[in-house]
Amino acid sequence: MKKIRAFLRSMTFGMLLLAAVIGFSFAGSMIPQQRPAMEYVSRYGATVGGLIIRLGLDDVFATPVFLLLMAALALNLTLCSVVRVRRLRGSGERLKERARAAQVIAAPGQAQRLDAFLRRRGFCAQAGEGVTVYSKCLFGAYGSFLTHLGLLAVLLAGALALYGGQITDQTVMPGQTLTLPDGTAIEVLSFRIEDETGRLDYASGLRMTDAQGQRSAEALVRVNEPMRFGRYKVYQQTYGTAGTMRLRNAATGGEDTVYLTEPAFLTADGQNGVFFAALYPGYIQDEDGSVTLITSTSGAYADPVYDLRVMAQGQTTPVLAFPGEELTLGDITYIPGEPVSYPGLRIKAIAPGMLGVLYASFVLLIAALTICFFMRPVCVAVRPEGYAIASPKPQLGLQLELEALIREEEQR
Distance CA 79, CA 84 (A): 8
Query: Apex CA 143: angle with CA 137 and CA 148, to 5°?
Result: 170
Identify the H or E element spanning 57.
none
User: Does pLDDT of 298 surpass 90?
Assistant: no
Distance CA 31, CA 240 (A): 21
> pLDDT value at position 176?
92
Per-residue pLDDT of 66-103, as tens digits, reads 889 888 988 888 888 887 787 888 889 999 999 999 99
> pLDDT value at position 270?
86
Torsion angles phi and psi, residue 86, rounded to 5? -65, -40
Per-residue pLDDT of 188-238, as tens digits, reads 999 988 878 877 788 999 999 998 999 999 999 987 789 999 889 899 988
| Burial of residue 352, with CB atoms counted within 10 A of its CB: 0-12 exposed, 13-18 middle, 19 or more buried | exposed
What is the pLDDT confidence band of residue 409, given thresholds at 50, 70 and 90? low
pTM above 0.75, yes or no: no
DSSP of 88-117 = TTTHHHHHHHHHHHSPPEE-TT-HHHHHHH
Per-residue pLDDT of 92-146, as tens digits, reads 999 999 999 999 998 888 889 999 999 999 999 999 888 999 999 999 988 888 9
| Burial of residue 64, with CB atoms counted within 10 A of its CB: 0-12 exposed, 13-18 middle, 19 or more buried | exposed
| DSSP-derived secondary structure letter, 215 | B
Mean confidence (pLDDT) of the chain: 88
Torsion angles phi and psi, residue 53, rounded to 5? -70, -40
> pLDDT value at position 126?
92
Contact between 123 and 371 under an 8 Å Cβ cutoff? The reply is: no
Question: Hey, is 383 helix, strand or coil?
Answer: strand
Percent of the chain with pLDDT over 70: 98
User: Does pLDDT of 410 surpass 70?
Assistant: no
The CATH class of 91-137+376-410 is: alpha beta
CB atoms within 10 A of CB 337: 17
DSSP of 244-283 = EEEEEETTT--EEEEEESS-EEEESSSSSEEEEEEEESEE
